[in-house]
Structure 1
Amino acid sequence: MNWKSLLVNIIIIGLLAIAPTLLGESLKKPVSIIYLVSIIILSAIIQILLGESQKNLDKALQLEEESDKLEKKYNSSILNLKAKGISYFDVAIYPLFYHTPRCNQDYGVRIFVNSRDELVNSPEITLTLDKNVEVKKANTSIHRYFHNEKHYFLLNQTIDRSEGSMYYEYEFKITFKEQGENKFKLLVESKELSSEIENSFFVQ
């Protein structure tokens, strides 16, 4: 029981204790009885509202505590990564289509790469797929390497623009040749940094 609930209880008990003295013979009147019953009902409602308020407060405190634990865990992971000397790019893949792709149709794909430090050369990008595809830039096919049942494409020449030797944007067209799940791996690396993304496209 918190201090608000305790205070309300004290006030209600006090009112009920002195009510007979104050009202005296008036307790025999219906209006006085209604007044007293109203006080009791009102006190019950206040108690319920205070109880719900306390539950919500406890839940909020619990969520805040869990959030703090997750934040500490996340910060600890970042520190561990830095301590081990693992460096990486911030990479995002943005398909330029909003529906399930189909075989033998061209679809645009953009790749955004952000480095936290300036680079002397643009990062190298290698796209690896488990199924047959065609990759083009400006209607020119990108050379494909086939090794260990995997299709490899070096996407360095698909660079579209860069800013300040830290931000790079790549764009190309991809044509899927096989239906089903097309798994891919995107490797972005330089002499100092390296990032890898694995995902898939589902093709109808």
Structure 2
Amino acid sequence: MAAPLLVLDDVRKVYTRGRVIRRPTFTLQANLSLEEPGIVGVVGPNGAGKTTLFEMMTGSNAPTSGRVLVAGTDIHGVKYRERDRLAIHYHQSYQVRRFRKRIPSALLAPSPTRTPLVHLFDEPQFNLQDGYIGFMLDFFRKLRDEGRLVILCMHPTASWHLDILAEIAGQFLFVAGGGVTRMADFRTLAAEPRFRLYLGPEMTRAADAICHSST
């Protein structure tokens, strides 16, 4: 039986400050398994830890505790230059995030794969020119159909952002309050009180309209 494509095994990231007494300033925890190829939407308030989550998933930010497994391999134990053969992080303009090197690469293991199994898109800039959004959605579907896991983070500021999420994502991760909550579909996400508070009244009405139109 094949290993899940992505596992966050009791992952916890704690940021601290203070020279003598280190005090926690931010904590993010996640414990989940994404077993199969698919497209997962990630949403949550600014500063909730979405980018930190992505960086831990792709090996550029080491968790304080826990493990990140990509197809059964601990990505933080893989050579830096080869981690993008497991999972790759595209940030906004599709520039790959840099790794924080704490262990000499010679002491790390090679990647067991040659091409990424997990593709993470961190708030991509969707161009509104004719056909561009459709092209990007088709690209995400192509990766999924090739057996990849696509994780798409968006910060909805317009109703068409919600349309994209509802159309393309099969499930969702809501990042808020120091944790990551898995949602089965857009309707479940739209009913989540914390998500509705995050959206605000106007965008909540847009989300409800999408749910109503799909019934």
Normalized per residue, the structure richer in helix is 1
TM-score interval w.r.t. the shorter chain?
under 0.3
Normalized per residue, the structure richer in strand is 1
> Greater relative contact order: 1 or 2 (C-alpha under 8 angstroms, separation 6 or more)?
2
With normalisation by structure 1, the TM-score equals 0.23
With normalisation by structure 2, the TM-score equals 0.22
Larger radius of gyration between Structure 1 and Structure 2: 1
